[in-house]
Amino acid sequence: MHRPQRWDIFCAVIDNFGDAGVCWRLARQLAAEHGYVVRLIIDDLASLAMLAPKLDPRAPLQILAGVTVVPREQAPTDAADVVIEAFGAPVPEAYLAAMVETPPVWINLEYLSAEAWIEGCHCLPSPHPRLPLTQWFFYPGFTEQSGGLLREARLIADREAFQAVPGAFAGFLDGQGLRPPEPEALKISLFGYENPALAGLIKAWSHSSRPIWCAVPEGRIRASVESTLGKPLSTTQHRGALTLEPIPFLAQDDYDRLLWGCDLNFVRGEDSFVRAQWAARPLVWHIYPQDEQAHLVKLEAFLDRYHEGLASAPAEASIALHDAWNRSEGARVEALWPQFEDALPELAQHARRFAQALADQPDLATQLALFAKSKLK
Protein backbone atom coordinates (compact mmCIF):
# COMPACT_ATOMS: atom_id res chain seq x y z
CA MET A 1 0.00 0.00 0.00
CA HIS A 2 1.35 3.40 -0.99
CA ARG A 3 1.67 5.99 1.74
CA PRO A 4 -0.35 9.19 1.23
CA GLN A 5 1.43 12.12 -0.34
CA ARG A 6 2.92 14.64 2.08
CA TRP A 7 2.39 18.32 1.33
CA ASP A 8 4.00 21.28 3.11
CA ILE A 9 2.61 24.80 2.66
CA PHE A 10 4.75 27.74 3.77
CA CYS A 11 2.86 30.94 4.56
CA ALA A 12 4.18 34.38 5.50
CA VAL A 13 1.36 36.66 6.64
CA ILE A 14 1.59 40.08 5.01
CA ASP A 15 -2.03 41.10 4.46
CA ASN A 16 -3.22 40.24 7.98
CA PHE A 17 -5.87 37.67 7.02
CA GLY A 18 -5.71 37.28 3.24
CA ASP A 19 -2.53 35.18 3.06
CA ALA A 20 -3.49 33.07 6.05
CA GLY A 21 -7.03 32.68 4.73
CA VAL A 22 -5.98 31.36 1.34
CA CYS A 23 -3.40 28.99 2.83
CA TRP A 24 -5.80 27.65 5.45
CA ARG A 25 -8.54 26.98 2.90
CA LEU A 26 -6.07 25.26 0.60
CA ALA A 27 -4.55 23.14 3.38
CA ARG A 28 -7.96 22.02 4.62
CA GLN A 29 -9.14 21.09 1.13
CA LEU A 30 -5.98 19.14 0.24
CA ALA A 31 -6.36 17.13 3.44
CA ALA A 32 -10.13 16.60 3.37
CA GLU A 33 -10.78 16.07 -0.34
CA HIS A 34 -7.49 14.66 -1.61
CA GLY A 35 -6.37 12.67 1.40
CA TYR A 36 -2.90 14.23 1.64
CA VAL A 37 -0.87 14.59 4.81
CA VAL A 38 -0.66 18.38 5.03
CA ARG A 39 1.50 20.63 7.18
CA LEU A 40 0.91 24.39 7.22
CA ILE A 41 4.04 26.23 8.34
CA ILE A 42 3.03 29.79 9.17
CA ASP A 43 4.70 32.81 10.79
CA ASP A 44 1.57 34.33 12.38
CA LEU A 45 -0.59 31.91 14.35
CA ALA A 46 -2.59 34.77 15.86
CA SER A 47 -3.98 35.81 12.47
CA LEU A 48 -4.78 32.20 11.59
CA ALA A 49 -6.58 31.74 14.92
CA MET A 50 -8.97 34.55 13.99
CA LEU A 51 -10.05 32.50 10.98
CA ALA A 52 -9.96 29.16 12.80
CA PRO A 53 -11.11 29.86 16.38
CA LYS A 54 -10.32 26.30 17.57
CA LEU A 55 -6.64 26.92 16.90
CA ASP A 56 -4.42 27.67 19.91
CA PRO A 57 -1.99 30.43 18.82
CA ARG A 58 0.37 29.51 21.68
CA ALA A 59 0.68 25.81 20.88
CA PRO A 60 3.98 24.65 19.35
CA LEU A 61 2.28 22.01 17.19
CA GLN A 62 -1.35 21.05 16.67
CA ILE A 63 -3.65 19.21 14.29
CA LEU A 64 -6.85 20.93 13.22
CA ALA A 65 -9.24 19.91 10.42
CA GLY A 66 -6.75 17.23 9.39
CA VAL A 67 -3.93 19.77 8.98
CA THR A 68 -0.80 19.90 11.12
CA VAL A 69 -0.18 23.56 11.95
CA VAL A 70 3.46 24.42 12.67
CA PRO A 71 4.92 27.80 13.75
CA ARG A 72 7.59 28.87 11.29
CA GLU A 73 10.26 29.07 14.00
CA GLN A 74 9.71 25.33 14.50
CA ALA A 75 9.64 24.47 10.81
CA PRO A 76 10.41 20.82 10.06
CA THR A 77 13.66 19.76 8.44
CA ASP A 78 12.28 16.78 6.52
CA ALA A 79 11.02 17.75 3.09
CA ALA A 80 7.55 16.71 1.94
CA ASP A 81 6.70 15.24 -1.47
CA VAL A 82 5.18 18.55 -2.54
CA VAL A 83 6.31 21.92 -1.19
CA ILE A 84 4.30 25.09 -1.73
CA GLU A 85 5.76 28.53 -1.14
CA ALA A 86 2.59 30.56 -0.92
CA PHE A 87 3.01 34.06 -2.32
CA GLY A 88 6.79 33.80 -2.25
CA ALA A 89 7.11 32.77 1.41
CA PRO A 90 10.66 31.29 1.39
CA VAL A 91 11.49 27.91 2.90
CA PRO A 92 14.14 27.98 5.67
CA GLU A 93 17.71 27.09 4.73
CA ALA A 94 17.64 23.84 6.72
CA TYR A 95 14.50 22.77 4.90
CA LEU A 96 16.04 23.74 1.56
CA ALA A 97 19.01 21.46 2.33
CA ALA A 98 16.60 18.59 2.96
CA MET A 99 14.95 19.27 -0.40
CA VAL A 100 18.29 18.74 -2.12
CA GLU A 101 18.55 15.28 -0.57
CA THR A 102 15.06 14.28 -1.71
CA PRO A 103 13.84 16.76 -4.35
CA PRO A 104 10.10 17.46 -4.04
CA VAL A 105 7.68 19.05 -6.46
CA TRP A 106 8.40 22.66 -5.49
CA ILE A 107 5.64 25.13 -6.32
CA ASN A 108 5.57 28.91 -6.01
CA LEU A 109 1.88 29.69 -5.59
CA GLU A 110 1.45 33.24 -6.83
CA TYR A 111 -1.13 35.88 -6.02
CA LEU A 112 -4.39 35.82 -7.94
CA SER A 113 -4.58 38.04 -11.01
CA ALA A 114 -6.89 38.46 -14.00
CA GLU A 115 -4.08 39.90 -16.14
CA ALA A 116 -3.62 38.08 -19.44
CA TRP A 117 0.16 37.63 -19.07
CA ILE A 118 -0.18 35.11 -16.24
CA GLU A 119 -1.44 32.49 -18.67
CA GLY A 120 1.94 32.49 -20.42
CA CYS A 121 3.81 32.11 -17.11
CA HIS A 122 1.56 29.52 -15.51
CA CYS A 123 3.42 26.25 -14.82
CA LEU A 124 6.77 27.57 -16.08
CA PRO A 125 9.92 26.15 -14.42
CA SER A 126 12.50 28.22 -12.56
CA PRO A 127 15.79 26.37 -11.90
CA HIS A 128 17.48 27.25 -8.62
CA PRO A 129 20.60 29.38 -9.28
CA ARG A 130 22.95 27.16 -7.25
CA LEU A 131 21.13 23.97 -6.23
CA PRO A 132 19.83 21.03 -8.31
CA LEU A 133 16.22 22.05 -7.72
CA THR A 134 13.46 23.41 -9.92
CA GLN A 135 10.59 25.55 -8.75
CA TRP A 136 7.34 25.79 -10.72
CA PHE A 137 5.24 28.94 -10.96
CA PHE A 138 1.54 28.36 -10.38
CA TYR A 139 -0.91 31.18 -11.03
CA PRO A 140 -4.50 31.15 -9.76
CA GLY A 141 -6.80 32.81 -12.23
CA PHE A 142 -10.16 33.09 -13.95
CA THR A 143 -9.60 31.08 -17.11
CA GLU A 144 -8.88 27.46 -17.99
CA GLN A 145 -5.34 28.53 -18.97
CA SER A 146 -4.67 29.42 -15.32
CA GLY A 147 -4.66 27.50 -12.04
CA GLY A 148 -8.27 28.35 -11.20
CA LEU A 149 -9.75 29.44 -7.86
CA LEU A 150 -10.12 27.77 -4.49
CA ARG A 151 -13.49 26.03 -4.38
CA GLU A 152 -14.42 23.19 -2.06
CA ALA A 153 -16.40 20.33 -3.57
CA ARG A 154 -19.62 21.16 -1.71
CA LEU A 155 -19.36 24.94 -1.80
CA ILE A 156 -21.87 25.66 -4.58
CA ALA A 157 -24.42 23.14 -3.26
CA ASP A 158 -24.13 24.54 0.26
CA ARG A 159 -24.56 28.09 -1.02
CA GLU A 160 -27.62 27.17 -3.05
CA ALA A 161 -29.22 25.37 -0.11
CA PHE A 162 -28.62 28.39 2.16
CA GLN A 163 -29.91 30.97 -0.32
CA ALA A 164 -33.01 28.88 -1.12
CA VAL A 165 -34.34 29.09 2.46
CA PRO A 166 -35.97 32.50 3.16
CA GLY A 167 -35.17 32.49 6.89
CA ALA A 168 -31.66 31.06 6.66
CA PHE A 169 -29.85 34.38 6.89
CA ALA A 170 -32.00 35.62 9.79
CA GLY A 171 -31.30 32.34 11.58
CA PHE A 172 -27.58 32.71 10.94
CA LEU A 173 -27.55 36.24 12.37
CA ASP A 174 -29.57 35.14 15.37
CA GLY A 175 -26.96 32.45 16.00
CA GLN A 176 -24.34 35.20 16.09
CA GLY A 177 -26.38 37.16 18.63
CA LEU A 178 -27.43 39.76 16.05
CA ARG A 179 -30.86 41.18 15.24
CA PRO A 180 -31.84 40.48 11.60
CA PRO A 181 -32.50 43.53 9.39
CA GLU A 182 -35.89 44.63 8.16
CA PRO A 183 -37.09 42.41 5.29
CA GLU A 184 -37.11 45.33 2.83
CA ALA A 185 -33.62 46.55 3.75
CA LEU A 186 -30.69 46.38 1.35
CA LYS A 187 -28.24 44.08 3.13
CA ILE A 188 -24.55 44.94 2.79
CA SER A 189 -21.36 43.53 4.30
CA LEU A 190 -18.44 45.94 4.61
CA PHE A 191 -14.89 44.54 4.72
CA GLY A 192 -11.88 46.45 3.44
CA TYR A 193 -8.80 48.47 4.21
CA GLU A 194 -8.89 51.91 5.80
CA ASN A 195 -10.56 54.23 3.30
CA PRO A 196 -11.35 57.96 3.60
CA ALA A 197 -14.00 57.48 0.91
CA LEU A 198 -16.17 55.71 3.45
CA ALA A 199 -17.45 59.07 4.69
CA GLY A 200 -19.04 59.72 1.29
CA LEU A 201 -20.49 56.22 1.16
CA ILE A 202 -22.07 56.50 4.60
CA LYS A 203 -23.52 59.87 3.66
CA ALA A 204 -25.09 58.39 0.52
CA TRP A 205 -26.47 55.41 2.43
CA SER A 206 -27.94 57.59 5.16
CA HIS A 207 -29.96 59.48 2.51
CA SER A 208 -31.13 56.36 0.69
CA SER A 209 -34.81 56.02 -0.24
CA ARG A 210 -34.82 52.46 1.20
CA PRO A 211 -33.44 51.11 4.48
CA ILE A 212 -29.83 49.94 4.32
CA TRP A 213 -28.41 47.46 6.82
CA CYS A 214 -24.63 47.20 6.83
CA ALA A 215 -22.69 44.54 8.73
CA VAL A 216 -19.20 45.71 9.70
CA PRO A 217 -16.92 42.84 10.77
CA GLU A 218 -13.87 43.49 12.89
CA GLY A 219 -11.02 44.67 10.70
CA ARG A 220 -9.15 47.63 9.37
CA ILE A 221 -12.09 49.44 7.79
CA ARG A 222 -13.87 49.68 11.13
CA ALA A 223 -11.43 52.47 12.04
CA SER A 224 -12.71 54.45 9.04
CA VAL A 225 -16.30 53.83 10.12
CA GLU A 226 -15.56 55.08 13.62
CA SER A 227 -13.71 58.10 12.28
CA THR A 228 -16.74 59.00 10.20
CA LEU A 229 -19.15 58.47 13.12
CA GLY A 230 -16.89 60.26 15.57
CA LYS A 231 -17.32 57.47 18.12
CA PRO A 232 -16.63 53.74 18.56
CA LEU A 233 -18.82 51.29 16.66
CA SER A 234 -19.46 49.12 19.71
CA THR A 235 -23.24 48.89 19.31
CA THR A 236 -25.76 49.29 16.51
CA GLN A 237 -25.68 52.81 15.06
CA HIS A 238 -28.35 54.57 12.99
CA ARG A 239 -27.81 57.37 10.47
CA GLY A 240 -30.99 58.24 8.58
CA ALA A 241 -31.86 55.23 6.41
CA LEU A 242 -28.64 53.45 7.42
CA THR A 243 -28.16 50.90 10.18
CA LEU A 244 -24.53 50.02 10.94
CA GLU A 245 -24.21 46.68 12.71
CA PRO A 246 -20.84 45.78 14.25
CA ILE A 247 -20.26 42.04 14.12
CA PRO A 248 -17.48 39.90 15.56
CA PHE A 249 -14.71 38.52 13.40
CA LEU A 250 -16.16 35.40 11.80
CA ALA A 251 -14.60 32.00 11.19
CA GLN A 252 -14.21 31.28 7.47
CA ASP A 253 -17.33 29.13 7.06
CA ASP A 254 -19.46 31.69 8.91
CA TYR A 255 -18.06 34.51 6.82
CA ASP A 256 -19.19 32.62 3.73
CA ARG A 257 -22.73 32.62 5.11
CA LEU A 258 -22.58 36.35 5.72
CA LEU A 259 -21.64 36.86 2.07
CA TRP A 260 -24.35 34.47 0.88
CA GLY A 261 -27.02 36.35 2.83
CA CYS A 262 -26.14 39.91 1.81
CA ASP A 263 -27.30 41.69 -1.34
CA LEU A 264 -23.92 43.40 -1.81
CA ASN A 265 -20.49 42.62 -0.41
CA PHE A 266 -17.57 45.00 -0.04
CA VAL A 267 -14.43 42.86 0.15
CA ARG A 268 -10.68 43.26 0.09
CA GLY A 269 -7.43 41.53 -0.82
CA GLU A 270 -7.72 37.99 -2.17
CA ASP A 271 -9.49 35.58 0.18
CA SER A 272 -12.70 37.52 0.84
CA PHE A 273 -12.62 38.70 -2.78
CA VAL A 274 -12.79 35.13 -4.11
CA ARG A 275 -15.42 34.09 -1.57
CA ALA A 276 -17.59 37.04 -2.64
CA GLN A 277 -17.52 35.73 -6.19
CA TRP A 278 -18.66 32.30 -5.02
CA ALA A 279 -21.47 34.02 -3.10
CA ALA A 280 -22.98 34.94 -6.49
CA ARG A 281 -23.83 38.42 -5.23
CA PRO A 282 -22.69 41.84 -6.49
CA LEU A 283 -19.39 42.95 -5.01
CA VAL A 284 -17.08 45.92 -4.63
CA TRP A 285 -13.43 44.96 -4.35
CA HIS A 286 -10.88 46.99 -2.39
CA ILE A 287 -7.66 45.70 -3.92
CA TYR A 288 -4.47 45.64 -1.85
CA PRO A 289 -2.74 49.01 -2.49
CA GLN A 290 0.68 48.91 -4.18
CA ASP A 291 3.34 51.49 -4.94
CA GLU A 292 2.94 53.66 -8.05
CA GLN A 293 -0.74 52.63 -8.35
CA ALA A 294 0.25 49.23 -9.76
CA HIS A 295 -2.82 47.70 -8.14
CA LEU A 296 -5.13 49.75 -10.37
CA VAL A 297 -3.84 47.86 -13.42
CA LYS A 298 -4.79 44.59 -11.74
CA LEU A 299 -8.16 46.01 -10.75
CA GLU A 300 -8.87 47.06 -14.32
CA ALA A 301 -7.92 43.62 -15.62
CA PHE A 302 -10.40 41.97 -13.28
CA LEU A 303 -13.19 44.44 -14.00
CA ASP A 304 -12.74 43.93 -17.75
CA ARG A 305 -13.11 40.18 -17.29
CA TYR A 306 -15.83 40.38 -14.66
CA HIS A 307 -18.13 42.59 -16.71
CA GLU A 308 -17.91 40.62 -19.96
CA GLY A 309 -21.42 40.03 -21.30
CA LEU A 310 -23.01 42.64 -19.02
CA ALA A 311 -25.02 45.55 -20.46
CA SER A 312 -23.10 48.82 -20.66
CA ALA A 313 -25.10 50.83 -18.08
CA PRO A 314 -24.69 48.47 -15.08
CA ALA A 315 -21.11 47.67 -16.12
CA GLU A 316 -20.22 51.38 -16.22
CA ALA A 317 -21.86 51.93 -12.83
CA SER A 318 -19.85 49.11 -11.29
CA ILE A 319 -16.56 50.16 -12.89
CA ALA A 320 -17.00 53.79 -11.85
CA LEU A 321 -17.74 52.93 -8.21
CA HIS A 322 -14.81 50.50 -8.05
CA ASP A 323 -12.51 53.19 -9.42
CA ALA A 324 -13.68 55.86 -6.98
CA TRP A 325 -13.56 53.46 -4.01
CA ASN A 326 -10.02 52.33 -4.79
CA ARG A 327 -8.85 55.90 -5.34
CA SER A 328 -10.39 56.93 -1.98
CA GLU A 329 -12.51 59.63 -3.60
CA GLY A 330 -15.34 60.08 -1.12
CA ALA A 331 -17.29 62.81 -2.92
CA ARG A 332 -17.23 60.77 -6.12
CA VAL A 333 -18.33 57.61 -4.29
CA GLU A 334 -21.26 59.53 -2.82
CA ALA A 335 -22.28 60.87 -6.22
CA LEU A 336 -21.97 57.48 -7.93
CA TRP A 337 -23.85 55.42 -5.35
CA PRO A 338 -27.44 56.06 -6.64
CA GLN A 339 -26.49 54.89 -10.14
CA PHE A 340 -24.78 51.81 -8.71
CA GLU A 341 -27.77 51.03 -6.48
CA ASP A 342 -30.10 51.22 -9.49
CA ALA A 343 -27.87 48.71 -11.28
CA LEU A 344 -27.93 46.14 -8.46
CA PRO A 345 -30.72 43.92 -9.92
CA GLU A 346 -28.80 43.46 -13.18
CA LEU A 347 -25.50 43.10 -11.30
CA ALA A 348 -27.08 40.38 -9.15
CA GLN A 349 -28.13 38.37 -12.20
CA HIS A 350 -24.69 38.81 -13.71
CA ALA A 351 -22.95 37.74 -10.50
CA ARG A 352 -24.75 34.40 -10.63
CA ARG A 353 -23.77 33.85 -14.25
CA PHE A 354 -20.16 34.74 -13.52
CA ALA A 355 -19.99 32.41 -10.51
CA GLN A 356 -21.45 29.55 -12.54
CA ALA A 357 -18.94 30.07 -15.35
CA LEU A 358 -16.10 29.90 -12.80
CA ALA A 359 -17.61 26.78 -11.21
CA ASP A 360 -17.49 25.05 -14.60
CA GLN A 361 -13.68 25.23 -14.46
CA PRO A 362 -11.40 22.97 -12.36
CA ASP A 363 -10.67 24.33 -8.89
CA LEU A 364 -7.23 25.38 -7.66
CA ALA A 365 -6.61 22.49 -5.24
CA THR A 366 -7.51 19.91 -7.88
CA GLN A 367 -5.26 21.55 -10.45
CA LEU A 368 -2.38 21.64 -7.95
CA ALA A 369 -2.92 17.95 -7.21
CA LEU A 370 -2.93 17.00 -10.89
CA PHE A 371 0.18 19.10 -11.57
CA ALA A 372 2.06 17.55 -8.66
CA LYS A 373 1.09 14.06 -9.80
CA SER A 374 2.45 14.77 -13.26
CA LYS A 375 5.83 15.81 -11.79
CA LEU A 376 6.27 13.18 -9.08
CA LYS A 377 8.58 10.35 -10.10
Q: Residue 377 gets which letter from DSSP?
A: -
Active site residue 334: no
Q: How far apart are CA 188 and CA 87, in angstroms?
A: 30
3-state secondary structure of 137: strand
Measured CA to CA, the distance from residue 99 to residue 10 in angstroms comes to 14
Active-site choice (15, 19, 334, 363): 19
Distance between CA atoms of 90 and 46, rounded to whole angstroms?
Answer: 20
Q: Is 158 a catalytic residue?
A: no
Q: Are strands 125-127 and 134-138 parallel, antiparallel or unpaired?
A: antiparallel
Q: Give rounded-to-5 percent helix, strand, coil for the chain.
A: 45, 20, 40
> 8, 110, 270, 363: which one is catalytic?
270
> What are φ and ψ of residue 82, in 5° steps?
-130, 130
Question: Who contacts 196 (Cβ-Cβ below 8 Å, separation ≥6)?
Answer: 224, 328, 330
Q: H helices then E strands: how many in the chain? A: 14, 14
Q: What separation in angstroms does the CA of 32 have from each of 37, 64, 154, 315?
A: 10, 11, 12, 38
| Active-site amino acid positions | 19, 270
